[in-house]
Structure 1
Amino acid sequence: MSKLKVASIIFLISTMILKFSSMIRDLVIAALFADSYKADVYFAAMTIPNAMILFLLTGMKDAFLPSYYKFEAIGKGESHLTNILKSTFIITTIFAILGILLSSPLMKIIYPTFSEFEYGTHIAVWTSIIYFASLIFVGVNAVYEGYFDAQKKFSFSVFSQTIVVLITILFAVLFHEKWGILSVPMGYFIGTFLSLLIKVVYRTPKRFMNWSQQINRAEVKEFYGIFWPVGLTIAVGQINLMVNTFFGARLGEEGIVSNLNYAFRLVNIPQAVFGVTIATIVFPIIAKARSESNMIDFRKGIEKGILYLLIFLTPALAGMCVLMQELVSLVYERGAFTSSSTQITASYAILYIGSTFFYSIQAIVAKGFYTMQKGHYIMRIGLISVLLNVVLNWTLSGKFGAEGIALSASLVAVFYSVITFTTLWKLVGGLNKTYLLKNSFQVIAATVTMIFGVLFADKFIEIADLPPFLHILIIAVPGAILYFLVLMLFKNEFVKTIISKGGNKPSS
């Protein structure tokens, strides 16, 4: 087995651990604060600084990897790393200070209704302040996670992110009685610091960066000219979530913002596990092909990324649709989170399914733009999607309430994914239509067969009264087996690769 395959498997396992810990964080928040106004205020207030955090975390990695390869090829990889580390620390510190100073007026202007709740504005302001303060550490963490990805040390990058989540959980559990929901952002702040400290120890302070090296301003300017449209594009999803949160808060009902957030986080797990994992693994492959001007391997990398994504994501989301009530109950229904909260959250989650599917495809497609250093294309499309989201939220939330907000997210994702895919298609001179259509048909046929089997079992096997975990297990395991059996009947490329014992990989 090749080193890349081993690294990919380890990375997938590491990512699943990260997302499992992220799920625990969400269910801890749900158990402690459920859909109370405190949870509403927290989720609303953290969206603005969190957009900047994602701008750095994901955008930095996507911009840094091809940039690092470029300088590593001429023997200046470490020098480039130092330039970007130092400049990013300075920039993020400035933005952190500005965010801290503006948190109070921003929260009061954007969410004036929070003042109607006891300590509502206080929670919002301090949540924003603490997350903005975290930017000081987040920026340097993001550069190093991009560096580790470039070295194909995917699992270490994921491990450092997992530390942040685990510390956040620990603080929520230990200090929620003393600090309330502010224990969550405090945990995140400490977690980002410890994550950075681990990287310093791992590299040793001496090798962490060249402390005496002067910043090459021309090099930094060139990098940030590429980075900011990439980062802004990555932040589009969070900006759209911020728009959804704003319109949710305008509806004026306690619990809407938090239930929408719980629904989104749950449905987003398959995207985070499969979409992000596959996109991250594909990225260095297509970046290397691009650096060698090998457009055949570049296109094959995109095609295989989309195929492998569809293989895992399609049945996962279809199964979630069928078992959504049981999933929400299993994940969230404990402590302060009641059965009525489960029903509401499940109804929102089903409407979010489209956003997860199409944004996952877009995550693969986006890597093609970033590798070609044409992030400005996708940035323009992303900004248009934000405007579309505002219009749809205004229209659909007024007509359907909170359900309209979740539906808007899915409709915007369809637009975003279709436009970016067709644009990349033109830029690279087309992809292998036969390959994509054949494999897409196989996945759809296998998924439809699985769903009919699951619905049949759910109807005729007396499992309705079983606990959610057993209900899901009895339905999901046979469903997954049936799905892969159908793919085997089609002699699907992915399944053939998995079950083969050596030999050449099937070609596209």
Structure 2
Amino acid sequence: MSKLKVASILFLFSTFVLKFSSMIRDLVIAGLFGDSYHADAYLAAMTIPNAFVLFLLTGMKDAFLPSYYKFNAIGRGEEHLTNIVKGTFWITLGVSILGVLLSGPIIRLFYPNFGEFEHGFAIATATAALYFASLCMVGVNAVYEGYFDAKKKFSFSVFSQTSVVLMTILFAILFHKQLGIIAVPVGYFVGTILSLLLKVIYRTPKKFLNWKQKMDIGEVSEFYHIFWPVGLTIAVGQINLMVNTFFAADLGEGVVSNLNYAFRLVNIPQAIFGVTIATIAFPIIAEAHNKKNPALFKRGLEKGYLYLLVFLTPMLAGMWYLMHELVGTVYERGAFTASATDLTTSYAVLYIGSAFFYSIQAVTAKGFYTLEKGHYMMRIGLISIILNILSNWIFSQFYGAQGIALSASIVALLYCGITFTTLYKEVGGFDVRYLLKNSGQIIVGVAVMMAYLYGFDFLVPGSVEWHRIIRLVVLGITGAIVYFAVMLLFRNEFVKEMLAKGGTPSSK
């Protein structure tokens, strides 16, 4: 079995663990605080600094990987790493200080309705300040996670992120009685410190950084000239989520929380398959581009799209069909009531489109970043933000909170369509017959699976009245078996490749 396939499997597993731990964090928050104004204030406030977190965490990795390859090819990889770590530290330190000082005014400006609740402003301000205070650690962590991805050590990069989530969960459980929901951002702050310490221990303090090396300001400036449009593009999704939250906060207590719970649940397949496959494909297409092999570059993108669709499409379709059972099983306990389950379900089914289209866009983005044309993505992303503001205003007027979730899927469709067609023209087109052939197999497989699920409920008496967990397990497992059986009948190359012992990713 190739080293890349082993690394890919480990990365997929570690990403699943990360998303599973993220789901535990969300259900802990839901169980302890439900859809109360405490949860609303925390979730709304954290979206603002979280846009900066994603700007750094994901954007840095996408920009640093091709940059590191370029410098490593001339024997300056470690020197470049030191320059970017030092530069990022000073930049994020400044943003952290500014963010902490401005947290109060920012919250009062964007969320004036929190003043209606006794501790609304206090919770939101403390949350924003703690997340802003974490940015300095997040920035340095992000550079090293990009470095580990460049070395194809995907699993360690994800493990370090998981440590942040686990610390957040631990603090929420242990200190919620003493600190209330503020225990959650405190846990996140401590987790970012722990994640950084893990990297220092892994690399050892001496090898962690060339402490004596003078920072090359010109090199840092050149890197950030490439990075900032990439980071801003990555943050587009979070910015759009922040816009959604602004509108949701005006719709009453519980709307922000239930929309967030719905989004996080539907986002899991995107994070597991969309982000994972895009991350694994990135080094392949980056190396192909550096070797000036356009055919391998395009085939790497095509396979990235198809691997994504093979696994993402049936999972989202199954979630759509079983959404009420899924929401109830995951969240309904403690402070999260049956009425909250009904509301969250109604939002979640409308978020399905956003998870699908943003996953495709994640692969497309890697193509632009490899070509060092992230400014295209940035321009399109800025357009999507404007579209999101308009569509949120229109749909929330007519459909309330459901309109916000629907708006997210519509904007994702437009964003995905524009970015894909732009990349298609930029690379001189893809193998359309190859894409259509495999996509057609996926569509047929999903259609047969959905027919089976409907048929099961029609033919098996009382199946809709089964316990949630039993229904999820039975229909989930048998539905997946039906889907993959159809794909094997088609001799689908991606399913066969994943099942083949000792196989290698067919970028041959």
Which residue is equivalent to 1:348?
347
Cα distance change of structure 1 residues 505 and 60 upon mapping to structure 2, 3 Å threshold: closer
Q: CA deviation at 1:455?
A: 1.4
Aligned with 2:439: secondary structure? helix
Equivalent runs, 1:436-455 vs 2, <5 Å: 436-455=435-454
Which residue is equivalent to 2:305?
306
- The reply on whether 1:138 has 2:133 as its aligned counterpart is no
Which residue is equivalent to 2:278?
279
Spell out, residue by residue over 1:347-391, the C-alpha distance to the aligned partner (whole angstroms, 9 max, x if none). 000000000000000000000000000000000000000000000
Amino acid at match of 1:255: G
Q: CA deviation at 1:136?
A: 1.2
Question: CA–CA distance in 1 between the matches of 2:56 and 2:410?
Answer: 26
Cα distance change of structure 1 residues 504 and 186 upon mapping to structure 2, 3 Å threshold: closer
Amino acid at match of 2:491: K
- The reply on whether 1:209 has 2:206 as its aligned counterpart is no
Spell out, residue by residue over 1:384-443, the C-alpha distance to the aligned partner (whole angstroms, 9 max, x if none). 000000000000001100000000000000000000000000111111101100000000
Which residue is equivalent to 1:408?
407
TM-score (norm 2): 0.98
Question: CA–CA distance in 2 between the matches of 1:434 and 1:493?
Answer: 15
Question: CA–CA distance in 1 between the matches of 2:213 and 2:457?
Answer: 65
Aligned with 1:46: secondary structure? helix
Question: CA–CA distance in 2 between the matches of 1:498 and 1:171?
Answer: 39
Question: CA–CA distance in 2 between the matches of 1:167 and 1:465?
Answer: 38
Q: CA deviation at 1:466?
A: 2.5
Which residue is equivalent to 1:66?
66
Which residue is equivalent to 2:156?
156
Question: CA–CA distance in 2 between the matches of 1:214 and 1:142?
Answer: 21
Which residue is equivalent to 1:121?
121
Question: CA–CA distance in 2 between the matches of 1:403 and 1:123?
Answer: 26
Does the aligned pair in 2 maintain the 1:458–1:475 contact within 8 Å?
Answer: no
Which residue is equivalent to 1:180?
180
- The reply on whether 1:106 has 2:92 as its aligned counterpart is no
Q: CA deviation at 1:451?
A: 0.5
Does the aligned pair in 1 maintain the 2:137–2:192 contact within 8 Å?
Answer: yes
Does the aligned pair in 1 maintain the 2:296–2:507 contact within 8 Å?
Answer: no
Does the aligned pair in 1 maintain the 2:285–2:301 contact within 8 Å?
Answer: yes
Amino acid at match of 1:148: F
Which residue is equivalent to 1:229?
229
Amino acid at match of 1:469: I
Amino acid at match of 2:44: A
State the aligned residue count: 507
Gaps of 5+ in 1: none
Which residue is equivalent to 1:90?
90
Q: CA deviation at 1:463?
A: 2.7
Q: CA deviation at 1:109?
A: 1.1
Amino acid at match of 2:366: K
Q: CA deviation at 1:495?
A: 2.1
Does the aligned pair in 1 maintain the 2:300–2:507 contact within 8 Å?
Answer: no
Q: CA deviation at 1:507?
A: 7.7
Question: CA–CA distance in 2 between the matches of 1:452 and 1:351?
Answer: 21
Question: CA–CA distance in 2 between the matches of 1:189 and 1:506?
Answer: 41
Q: CA deviation at 1:504?
A: 8.6
Cα distance change of structure 1 residues 336 and 66 upon mapping to structure 2, 3 Å threshold: same
Question: CA–CA distance in 1 between the matches of 2:504 and 2:176?
Answer: 55
Does the aligned pair in 2 maintain the 1:89–1:136 contact within 8 Å?
Answer: yes
Spell out, residue by residue over 1:69-124, the C-alpha distance to the aligned partner (whole angstroms, 9 max, x if none). 00000000000000000000000000000000110111111111101101100001
Amino acid at match of 1:385: S
Percent sequence identity is: 66
- The reply on whether 1:364 has 2:363 as its aligned counterpart is yes
Amino acid at match of 1:300: R
TM-score (norm 1): 0.98
Aligned with 2:322: secondary structure? helix
CA RMSD of aligned residues (A): 1.1
